[in-house]
Structure 1
Amino acid sequence: MRVALAQVVTGRDISGNLDIVEKFARKAKEGGAELVVFPEATMRAFGNSLIDIAEPLDGPWATRLRSIARKRDIVIVAGMFTPGESGDAAGSDSGNRGRKVRNTLLATGPGVDASYDKIHLFDAFGFAESDTVDAGTRPVTFELGGISFGLATCYDIRFPALFTANADLGAEANIVCASWGAGPGKVDQWRLLARARAVDTTTYVLACGQADPATEGVETKGSAPTGVGHSAVVSPLGEVLDELDAGTGLLFADLDPAVVKEARTKLPVLANRRTF
């Protein structure tokens, strides 16, 4: 199966961000991809209000995303924001104070409709995602073209147990959508973690992040994680098959479940593990 990672810079305008999705979905389909992955916060970039745009999975933003996927005959995975348990959909007349959202991945397209809420919230490096976001509670996988995909979001990549849980559910590839925070050593950590999670679970890792906004001339302020680029596809034995630089781009890769099977024969870490 051919897949694509769309490394983009999204902004405040949620409609404009969908235009970006449509543009890159078209390019991905033209390149032969059956699946295209977009970053975390595709709906709206971090550093902007999220409460006022959070909507349910049948709301207008998600509905248009599904429409794009149908139009292009491709499965799309993209980050959006849905209402948390303490909040309602955007537009309620009771005000937004005290409400939270969920940091959600929507996977949609021919034969696929799944969603995952980020479990591990980014309360690190001076940022407190839990101030505005409710955590998810369960791993999620979906099937496409004979391959099972697990879902994860950004900070999740630092927690091997989620990736193992996805593998236990049958995942042969793990998708990680991110808006990675910049800082000393952070790109190296991103690369290291993507490779480690691949070897931990003998799965492909499709690690798709927001591009560095500076490469598009976009200025950012504060501590919000707005992306560093370096999206990559990693093999089940930890080899980086391809990687983008910091700027906007589209990365293609071909996945073969036989490669996963071979890796698990050579390195049966899932079968050999012990619990304590």
Structure 2
Amino acid sequence: MASLHVALVQHASGLESEANRRLLDQLTPAGADLVVFPEAFARDFGEAGSDVSPYAEAVDGAFATELGRVAGERGTTVVAGMFEPSADPERPFNTLVVRGGAEATYRKIHLYDSFGYRESDRLAAGPTDPVLVDVGGFTVGLMTCYDLRFPELARALVDRGAEVLVVPAAWVAGPRKVDHWRTLVRARAIENTVFVLAAGQPGPRYSGHSLVVDPLGDVLAEADDDATVITATLDRETLDTARRTNPSLANRRM
């Protein structure tokens, strides 16, 4: 496939799991090859520091099953975030599930112990193995929210062939946060010459500003902080041209 049609769903998840599952059907658009929902879409985090373990589900549970049903019905691949039981019953994984034309599971590596939060008190970190999946002939690497601040994960995914990075997020609002988000999304795209699809939850609690950025750092689509769906087309020719123009991956010496 020479191009990939993508849609990023910037919509808030609530505290009722069943209602969030219904949103998958309501919000997944037709006509996209890849649809990306935000982090923790199966059930919001709740108040800071809340125990989310009662809402953890297996990756073949109700949320992932509905995600697969919707993806199959739309003829697409869908990515969305959920909580999954880990070996520690009090600290589940923060997990991305990919269903539809491709299937994968990614457990968030870097937990948000920053800006006054302690995600590791309530969640378990996933294994450090990068996770990639093929979608329509493009190699897609999976990251979640705070992972964006760690360039070594993005580079590890690219070293394994990633051409697109998908970053579902619930990027908490606050001073400098939108600026950090936009800067980091564009940096990961530019330094790795990849497309980046960064899908966030909307304001007022989160920062919104879902982004699609191309391998030279041009913003192909951007939301504001309201609930919305943004779309873009990723062209392989754009990727190839960027890597010829800026062969930074080939020029590395370290």
Q: TM-score, normalised by structure 2?
A: 0.94
The answer as to 2:8 corresponding to 1:9 is no
User: How far did 1:144 drift?
Assistant: 1.2
**Residues 165-193 of structure 1: CA deviation (Å, up to 9, x unaligned):** 11111111100000001111100110000
Match of 1:229 among 203, 208, 211: 208
Percent of aligned pairs with the same residue? Answer: 47
User: How far did 1:84 drift?
Assistant: 1.5
Aligned residue in 2 for 1:82: 84
Match of 1:129 among 89, 94, 119: 119
Structure 1 runs not aligned, ≥5 long: 88-98, 215-225
Aligned residue in 2 for 1:66: 68
d(CA) in 2 for partners of 1:258, 1:143: 18
2:202 is paired with a residue whose SS is coil
The answer as to 2:245 corresponding to 1:245 is no
The answer as to 2:171 corresponding to 1:144 is no
User: AA paired with 1:129?
Assistant: E
Aligned residue in 1 for 2:248: 269
Structure 2 runs not aligned, ≥5 long: none
User: How far did 1:140 drift?
Assistant: 0.6
The answer as to 2:15 corresponding to 1:24 is no
Query: Contact 1:78–1:107 at 8 Å: present in 2 too?
Result: yes
Query: Contact 2:37–2:168 at 8 Å: present in 1 too?
Result: yes
User: AA paired with 1:108?
Assistant: R
List structure 1 segments (4+ residues) > 4 angstroms apart after TM superposition. none
Query: Contact 2:38–2:169 at 8 Å: present in 1 too?
Result: yes
User: AA paired with 2:177?
Assistant: K
2:44 is paired with a residue whose SS is coil
Aligned residue in 1 for 2:194: 203
**Residues 192-211 of structure 1: CA deviation (Å, up to 9, x unaligned):** 00000001110000010001
* Equivalent residues, number: 247
d(CA) in 1 for partners of 2:94, 2:206: 16
d(CA) in 1 for partners of 2:32, 2:67: 17
User: How far did 1:49 drift?
Assistant: 3.8
Query: Contact 2:51–2:122 at 8 Å: present in 1 too?
Result: no
User: How far did 1:274 drift?
Assistant: 2.5
